[in-house]
């Protein structure tokens, strides 16, 4: 086997994967499996769906490896692809609002009843939002992506990211201004 | 500061997007009045209280990776590749690499005489012994660059396939190949051997273009020294090629005498250039089909024998066909994803 220093940063991994290097591919999976699984679960709220989609996500990456652009962020590529997979999945399933809310109860275990109620209301409020706004907020607040990364992931301008974030926060503030007691 | 402005500032700060200057601005605004502090506190509380929902559990990475690896292996190695000692005296079945009906490399029973001899039994065992095989292949309109275990690289043109063990053996670097590819072989004391359906290429470290389809293996050397011989068991003659030389093996005949060529011409495909030099129309049409993933049919197979000479660079398929037809006094017709060429 080739004896070279194992690639560590994303760009080096991308370049190696383009050359069909399986070790580099495994390293990339190790790096992004957990956060992408959580992201897919947050979007679908379904264990089975998240497991299937995370498999599909990384297999597709491998199949399309020849087309990878080493100048673009692979993190953004993964989140974009995952987002599309989740949206397609949700479109196929008819999600009744009530059914969705049932699943929310499990999502915030371990907190007090009050906090849980708050979180559930928050989840509902998020679901009220149109998809583009909700996704921007989720990527920033839950997945920890910076605005620039979100812009690249969703292929929109940073200004658009900011404007969607503020619309979301405004919406949440309106719904929860009263519920949240500032200390 | 206007309402919209401070809202935007607070949002950016909470999201971790505020610049140094903006943070200072916010601080100053907060200190200006207790009301401002209240507004900020509420926004901050909202932010803090919105935690991410988490799944009850995340399946272990190892389980996930096992499934991925199984799928990768499925796509690549044949299901039942096992070495049975290659021994001409052994009664019973001998397994070997052969090209099946679809011209794909398969590991199967070689009861027929068509056994690809690559020098000795040891070589077979080197190829498959212990090491899992990796296969890389391309379809129509696909290109793939592959890194081999010794650092050599191969650029695969459309409809091509290369097989190799994940780590090369101690004495030899062996790959099985069909289709069209450009090889950049790293210098190494171990010879590098490419086995095609009807021929064998042997190099130490060099750059060459290899086209092997339908029992016609054509080799053009860009740099270095390469030996080409037929795969036929009795082949003693091999031909040595240097830079800017070309030779080919037809069926199981020995290789033809080297011909001087302009290697750069033959490598046009790497830069999406087609270079046809007295090429039969049939072959040219097949190349175009593979590159553009369109079907091109000749009304009369005899037309396939007409030859064309020309260079095309990244033009739409229609334009290329138009030029070719004009040169040969032919007509073409377009129907969906198909072209018809007639006299």
Give the model confidence (pLDDT) of B315-333 as tens digits: 888 888 998 898 888 999 9
* Residues B217 and B196 sit within 8 Å (Cβ to Cβ): yes
Exposure string for B26-52, b = 16+ CB within 10 A, e = fewer: beebbeeeeebeebbebbbbbbebbee
**Out of A41, A62, A66, whose CB is closest to B55?**
A41
φ, ψ of residue A93 in degrees (nearest 5)? -85, 140
**Out of A59, A107, A169, whose CB is closest to B54?**
A107
Give me the pLDDT at residue B85, please: 31
- Which residues of chain A lie closer than 8 angstroms to B45, CB-CB? 180-183
Quote the minimal CA–CA distance from B76 to chain A in Å: 12
Q: What is the pLDDT of residues B126-142, one digit of tens each?
A: 455 445 678 888 888 88
Give me the pLDDT at residue B278, please: 81
| Distance from C-alpha of B332 to C-alpha of B294, rounded to nearest angstrom | 14
What are the structure tokens assigned to B171, written together?
Answer: 């004495």
User: For residue B221, how far is the Cα from the chain centroid?
Assistant: 20
φ, ψ of residue A123 in degrees (nearest 5)? -60, -45
DSSP for residue B256: P
Q: What is the mean pLDDT of residues B79-107?
A: 40
Q: Contact B64/A29, CB-based, under 8 Å?
A: yes
B187 touches chain A (CB under 8 A): no
Question: Quick one: angle between helices B3-14 and B20-32, nearest 10?
Answer: 120
Max mean pLDDT among A37-41, B76-80, B91-95, B270-274 falls in: A37-41
In this prediction, the answer to ipTM > 0.85 reads no
**Out of A66, A107, A122, whose CB is closest to B143?**
A66
Q: What is the mean pLDDT of residues B23-32?
A: 89
Q: What is the pLDDT of residues A17-35, one digit of tens each?
A: 888 888 899 999 999 999 9
CA angle B48, B51, B52 (to 5 degrees): 150
A69 touches chain B (CB under 8 A): no
Place of tokens 């990339």: A28
Give me the pLDDT at residue B109, please: 40
Closest CA to B167 of A61, A176, A1: A1
> With bands split at pLDDT 50, 70 and 90, how would you rate the model's confidence at A45?
confident
Give me the pLDDT at residue A161, please: 93
Q: Which residues contact B301 (CB under 8 A, 6 or more apart)?
A: B282
* Residues B225 and B205 sit within 8 Å (Cβ to Cβ): no
Give me the pLDDT at residue B311, please: 84
Give me the pLDDT at residue B189, please: 83
Quote the minimal CA–CA distance from A66 to chain B in Å: 6
| Distance from C-alpha of A160 to C-alpha of A150, rounded to nearest angstrom | 10
| Distance from C-alpha of B134 to C-alpha of B77, rounded to nearest angstrom | 6
Q: What is the mean pLDDT of residues A53-80?
A: 90
Quote the minimal CA–CA distance from A134 to chain B in Å: 13
Q: Lowest-pLDDT range, A147-151, B120-124, B146-150, B329-333?
A: B120-124
* Residues A173 and A141 sit within 8 Å (Cβ to Cβ): no
Quote the minimal CA–CA distance from B300 to chain A in Å: 37
| Distance from C-alpha of B160 to C-alpha of B291, rounded to nearest angstrom | 12
Tell me if residue B299 falls in helix, strand or coil: coil
B295-298 and B338-342: which strand pairing? parallel
- Which residues of chain A lie closer than 8 angstroms to B38, CB-CB? 182
Q: Contact A173/B150, CB-based, under 8 Å?
A: no
Q: Does B67 have pLDDT greater than 80? A: yes
Q: What is the mean pLDDT of residues A157-164?
A: 92
**Out of A45, A58, A147, whose CB is closest to B17?**
A147
User: For residue A35, how far is the Cα from the chain centroid?
Assistant: 8
Exposure string for A10-30, b = 16+ CB within 10 A, e = fewer: beebbebbbbbbbebbbbbbe
What are the structure tokens assigned to A29, written together?
Answer: 């999976």
Give me the pLDDT at residue B244, please: 92
> With bands split at pLDDT 50, 70 and 90, how would you rate the model's confidence at B180?
very high
Q: What is the mean pLDDT of residues B153-174?
A: 86
Q: Find residues 291-320 of chain B whose CB sits inside 8 Å of chain A.
A: none
* Residues A169 and A141 sit within 8 Å (Cβ to Cβ): no
A109 touches chain B (CB under 8 A): yes
Quote the minimal CA–CA distance from B302 to chain A in Å: 38
A152 touches chain B (CB under 8 A): no
Q: Contact A169/B43, CB-based, under 8 Å?
A: yes
B9 touches chain A (CB under 8 A): no
Percent of chain A at pLDDT > 70 equals: 80
What are the structure tokens assigned to B277, written together?
Answer: 């030099």
Give me the pLDDT at residue A176, please: 72
DSSP for residue B258: P
Give me the pLDDT at residue B293, please: 82
Give me the pLDDT at residue A25, please: 93
Question: For B40-86, what is the HEC assignment?
Answer: HHHHHHHHHHCCCCCCCCCCCHHHHHHHHHHHHHHHHCCCCCCCCCC
Give me the pLDDT at residue B90, please: 34
Q: Contact B15/A147, CB-based, under 8 Å?
A: yes
How confident is the prediction for chain A on average, in pLDDT?
A: 81
Q: Contact B56/A109, CB-based, under 8 Å?
A: yes
- Which residues of chain B lie closer than 8 angstroms to A20, CB-CB? 134, 136, 144-147
Q: Does A165 have pLDDT greater than 80? A: yes
Q: Find residues 138-177 of chain B whose CB sits inside 8 Å of chain A.
A: 142-147, 149-151, 153, 166-167
Closest CA to B81 of B69, B93, B70, B96: B96
Closest CA to B323 of B313, B338, B310, B333: B310
Q: What is the pLDDT of residues B198-241, one digit of tens each?
A: 888 888 778 999 999 888 899 999 998 898 988 875 556 788 99
Q: Contact B53/A108, CB-based, under 8 Å?
A: yes
Q: Contact B58/A37, CB-based, under 8 Å?
A: yes
> With bands split at pLDDT 50, 70 and 90, how would you rate the model's confidence at A110?
low
> With bands split at pLDDT 50, 70 and 90, how would you rate the model's confidence at B339?
very high
| Distance from C-alpha of B26 to C-alpha of B91, rounded to nearest angstrom | 87
CA angle A16, A19, A20 (to 5 degrees): 95
Give me the pLDDT at residue A106, please: 52
CA B174 vs CA B18, B149, B162: distances in Å: 57, 11, 10
Q: What is the pLDDT of residues A115-148, one digit of tens each?
A: 667 777 777 778 788 888 889 999 998 888 999 9
How confident is the prediction for chain B on average, in pLDDT?
A: 79
Choose between B166 and B338: higher pLDDT: B338
Choose between A181 and B155: higher pLDDT: B155
Q: What is the mean pLDDT of residues B53-73?
A: 89
Quote the minimal CA–CA distance from A24 to chain B in Å: 12
Residues facing residue B228 across a β-bridge: B201, B239
CA atoms within 13 A on the CB side of B101: 0
Q: What is the mean pLDDT of residues B32-39?
A: 87
Q: Does B32 have pLDDT greater than 60? A: yes
Q: What is the pLDDT of residues A69-109, one digit of tens each?
A: 878 889 999 999 999 999 888 877 755 443 444 445 455 55
Give me the pLDDT at residue A53, please: 95
Give me the pLDDT at residue B327, please: 87
Tell me if residue B8 falls in helix, strand or coil: helix
What are the structure tokens assigned to B186, written together?
Answer: 């790293």
């Amino acid at each position: 086997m080739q004896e070279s220093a194992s690639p560590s940063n994303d760009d080096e991994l991308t370049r190696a994967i383009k050359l069909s290097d399986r070790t580099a591919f495994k390293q990339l999976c190790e790096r992004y499996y957990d956060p992408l699984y959580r992201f897919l679960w947050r979007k679908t709220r379904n264990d089975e769906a998240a497991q299937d989609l995370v498999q599909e996500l990384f297999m597709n990456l491998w199949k399309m490896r020849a087309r990878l652009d080493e100048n673009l962020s692979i993190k953004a590529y993964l989140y974009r692809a995952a987002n599309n997979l989740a949206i397609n999945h949700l479109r196929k399933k008819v999600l009744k609002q009530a059914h969705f809310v049932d699943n929310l109860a499990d999502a915030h275990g371990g907190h007090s009843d009050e906090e849980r109620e708050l979180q559930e209301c928050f989840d509902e409020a998020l679901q009220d939002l149109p998809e583009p706004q909700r996704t921007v907020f989720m990527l920033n607040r839950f997945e920890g992506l910076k605005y620039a990364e979100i812009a690249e992931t969703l292929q929109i301008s940073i200004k658009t990211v900011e404007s969607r974030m503020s619309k979301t926060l405004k919406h949440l503030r309106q719904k929860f201004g009263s519920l949240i007691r500032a200390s | 500061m206007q309402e919209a402005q401070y809202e935007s500032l607070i949002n950016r700060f909470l999201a971790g997007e505020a610049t140094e200057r903006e943070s200072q601005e916010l601080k100053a605004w907060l200190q200006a009045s207790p009301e401002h502090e209240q507004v900020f506190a509420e926004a901050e509380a909202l932010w803090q209280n919105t935690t991410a929902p988490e799944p009850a559990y995340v399946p272990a990475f190892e389980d996930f990776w096992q499934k991925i690896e199984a799928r990768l292996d499925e796509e690549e190695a044949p299901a039942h590749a096992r070495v049975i000692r290659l021994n001409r005296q052994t009664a019973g079945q001998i397994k070997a690499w052969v090209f099946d009906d679809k011209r794909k490399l398969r590991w199967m029973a070689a009861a027929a005489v068509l056994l690809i001899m690559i020098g000795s039994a040891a070589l077979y065992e080197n190829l498959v012994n212990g090491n899992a095989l990796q296969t890389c292949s391309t379809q129509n309109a696909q290109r793939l660059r592959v890194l081999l275990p010794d650092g050599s690289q191969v650029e695969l043109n459309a409809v091509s396939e290369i097989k190799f063990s994940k780590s090369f053996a101690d004495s030899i670097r062996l790959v099985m190949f069909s289709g069209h590819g450009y090889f950049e072989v790293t210098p190494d004391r171990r010879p590098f051997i490419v086995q095609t359906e009807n021929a064998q290429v042997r190099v130490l470290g060099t750059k060459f273009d290899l086209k092997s389809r339908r029992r016609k293996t054509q080799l053009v050397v860009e740099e270095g020294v390469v030996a080409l011989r037929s795969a036929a068991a009795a082949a003693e003659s091999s031909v040595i090629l240097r830079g800017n030389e070309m030779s080919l093996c037809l069926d199981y005949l020995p290789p033809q005498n080297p011909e001087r060529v302009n290697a750069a011409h033959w490598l046009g495909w790497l830069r999406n250039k087609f270079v046809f030099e007295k090429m039969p129309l049939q072959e040219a049409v097949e190349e175009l089909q593979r590159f553009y993933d369109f079907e091109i049919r000749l009304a009369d197979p005899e037309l396939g024998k007409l030859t064309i000479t020309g260079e095309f660079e990244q033009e739409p398929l229609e334009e290329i066909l138009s030029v070719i037809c004009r040169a040969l006094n032919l007509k073409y017709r377009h129907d969906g994803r198909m072209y018809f060429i007639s006299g």
